[in-house]
Amino acid sequence: MTRRERRNLRNGLLFASPYLLGFVAFTLYPIVMSLYYSLCHYNVINPPVWCGLDNFRTLITEDKVFGKSLWNTLYFTVFSVPMGLAIAVGLALLLHQKVWGLAGYRTVFFLPSIVPIVASGVLWLWVLNPQNGLINSTLAMMNIEGPGWIADEYWSKPSLILMSFWSVGSAMVIFLAGLAEVPQSLYEVADIDGAGRLRKFWNVTLPMITPTILFNLVMGLIAAFQYFTQVYVMTAGKGTPADTTMFYALYMYKNAFNYLRMGYASAMAWLLFILVLTATIGVLISSKRWVHYHGE
């Protein structure tokens, strides 16, 4: 390297040093230490004691609550993500039409997604209240007895799935951008061939927005596996009733900060990372069969 190149390299590193120091201190170091703590018995107060894979063995073979939390999270993910995508696509198609006041309609449907999560959780506690909630009060006017919703072990997870549709506005906006990129020439060809609305949607619109579907699917999976704040607010961090709302992230939080089993929680975090990574890679591999890119 010449003297000038060394000087440029030094200046570049100096300019990038705030980010590099922050990355090392607040990202890389916590990742490395969480991996180390996952192999230790560590309660924050006393020094960590090496235990190898004992935390992982206990989680998989002995901890029944861990199995419940994993099942609850998978149940929520399997139902909320596909249904949320379908609702977001439907809303995007409706809001893609050329009608008067379209900007206002788009704003109304997007607003719930920017409401703070804690505020929306408190709001849905009232909506789903078994006695005085909005839904059950409306059903009572029709002489229909509503379920216990979040307080009923059979309706608790469906209640949270229903609540998750409240924030599909973000995915809807991305789908709107995807719909705007669909070439109009394809619709013109479909019109010449005599295709109706349903056939144009199935053979033109849907294939052309599959890259957008892939993006929202991956982001939805990652978010669903880390579902925490809403259930923490609505159950006061207890995962009631009967652990039916004890989601993976909530149980990991309780182990770390309620029971001070930081090593155990670190092991859960790495298992969650492996689970999310596996699901994401599986989706990306399968996308070769169903994602179509314009021009290919």
Concatenate the DSSP letters of all residues of 59-87 into one string.
HHHT-HHHHHHHHHHHHHHHHHHHHHHHH
Residue 293 predicted with pLDDT over 90? no
Q: Residue 261 has what pLDDT?
A: 96
Instruction: Indicate the SS3 state at residue 9.
Output: helix
Of the chain, the percentage scoring pLDDT greater than 90 comes to 86
**Per-residue pLDDT, 295:** 63
The predicted pLDDT at position 294 comes to: 72
Largest distance between two CA atoms of the chain? 85
Give the pLDDT band (50/70/90) at residue 52: very high
Q: Which pLDDT band holds residue 240 (cuts at 50, 70, 90)? A: confident
Residue % of the chain over a pLDDT of 70: 99
Give the model's confidence band at 222: pLDDT under 50 very low, under 70 low, under 90 confident, else very high. very high
pLDDT at 99: 83
- Computed over every residue of the chain, the mean pLDDT equals 93
Whether pLDDT at 79 is above 80:
yes
**Looking at the DSSP assignment, which residues form a beta bridge with residue 41?**
49
For the stretch 105-137, pLDDT in tens is 999 999 999 999 999 999 999 999 998 899 999
Mean pLDDT along residues 200-228: 95
Class of domain 53-290: mainly alpha
- What was the pLDDT predicted at 38? 96
CB-based contact 166:124 (threshold 8 Å): yes
What residues have CB less than 8 Å from 53, skipping those under 6 apart? 39
Q: What angle do CA 274, 52, 65 make, to 5 degrees?
A: 55
Q: Domain boundaries in the chain?
A: 53-290
Name the token pair of 133.
Answer: 């909630």
pLDDT tens-digit readout, 162-197 = 999 999 999 999 999 999 999 999 999 999 989 899
Q: Please report the pLDDT score of residue 98 as a whole number.
A: 84
| pLDDT over 90 (residue 216) | yes
pLDDT at 101 over 90: no
**Separation of alpha carbons 22 and 28, rounded Å:** 9
Q: Is the pLDDT of residue 296 over 70?
A: no
pLDDT at res. 97? 87
When pLDDT is averaged across residues 205-216 and rounded to a whole number, the result is 95
Q: Could you identify the residue written with the tokens 């050329």? A: 98
When pLDDT is averaged across residues 152-161 and rounded to a whole number, the result is 94
